[in-house]
Amino acid sequence: MTGKQRVLAGVDHRVTDRIPITFDAEKEVYAVLYDHLKLRTKEELFDRLHVDTWMILPGNFIFPKQEEGKAEKTSIWGYRARVTEYSGGTYDELCFAPLAGKHEIADIRKHDWSGPRTLDFSHFQRDAQAHADRAIIGVFTWGAYFVASFVRGLQDLMMDFAMRTDYADHLIKTITEKILAALDTLLEKHAGGVDIVYMADDYCSQRGPMFSPDTFKRYVQPYLTEVAARCHAHGKKFLLHCCGAVRPLLPMIIDAGVDMLEPIQIRAAGMEPAGLKRDFGKHLCFYGGVDLQQILCNGTPREVSDEVRRLIDVLGRDGGYILGPGHTYIQIDAPTANILAMYDTAAETNVPGSRR
């Protein structure tokens, strides 16, 4: 099977010759792997790690090109982030939310929402054709809640949900219009060769959702449903990213039409793999799962291999599982030997029910 065939079969809950595999990591991890393996290109690295997916991001995805290299940069949504160092690398830390402290609906209308129109999908079909043997995952932008948490600031947004519901309604609907316009641009003009559409929208902490299921139903489920419907109308699967303890929201996420869930953070409350497979495995394809909080960073290569085999046995049974990191991006604290053990074991382990 090709990587594309393997992934799409897995999404449709069919058993494949081996478990479908995905990969992503912080840029510092890519550099370490290139050096260790004496490789030069992303294609060579993905071949070595047996990766079946290929993700394409739009130009100006978060920050316009002219903001690259700045210590403090302004996003297409108008919030600002500061490049912050940590042991081994850097990350972008929110330093200015343009609607923080501005509690009038008129403030939402006055905000400059023109940035998302700069999202550039013109390279998608070319890149998809160049990697047509892998499942192509096309990203359009973030979910409306996730964008709102940066533009409004998380504290104000939570208060909006509780006390300023008209404001929250207007903000989420305004951002929804922008993300759906970006999605339509992708689907109607640039989606040739794209198999799966990806959207990140983090609602949860390690312990549970950051707001009630009723709030989710009011503000989030409607636009999730619309995104899923538009993807399906164009023959694409919909992959939703949500870290943390998302289990209480899964019935509504499934009802919205989401096909795939990333990253399956198994140490979060309620995210034990056997329970997820039992209760939701017929309706969702799980994507990720390999623990980055303890196993990949602190375990031995043998412990990593054992965990990979366990996940394949539990989540991979009867299809519906794409194996990858349980927090999207492998972090720099993961030993190279553990990363290689993860991917080599995944490629060598039989899926329950396969005839390989």
Question: Residue by residue, what is the 3-state secondary structure of 162-214?
Answer: HHCHHHHHHHHHHHHHHHHHHHHHHHHHHCCCCCEEEEECCCECCCCECCCHH
Q: Are 318 and 285 in contact (CB under 8 A)?
A: no
Question: Over its length of 356 residues, how does the chain's per-residue pLDDT go in tens digits?
Answer: 999 999 999 999 999 999 999 999 999 999 999 999 999 999 999 999 999 999 999 999 999 999 999 999 999 999 999 999 988 899 999 999 999 999 999 999 999 999 999 999 999 999 999 999 999 999 999 999 999 999 999 999 999 999 999 999 999 999 999 999 999 999 999 999 999 999 999 999 999 999 999 999 999 999 999 999 999 999 999 999 999 999 999 999 999 999 999 999 999 999 999 999 999 999 999 999 999 999 999 999 999 999 999 999 999 999 999 999 999 899 999 999 999 999 999 999 988 877 66
Degrees to nearest 5, angle at CA 193 with 197 and 184: 50
Q: Are 238 and 275 in contact (CB under 8 A)?
A: no
Per-domain residue ranges for the chain?
3-66+104-348
CA distance linking residue 199 with residue 81, whole number of Å: 21
Tokens of 133: 């043997």
Top-level class of domain 3-66+104-348:
alpha beta
pTM given for the model: 0.97
For the chain, the C-alpha Rg in angstroms (whole number) is 20
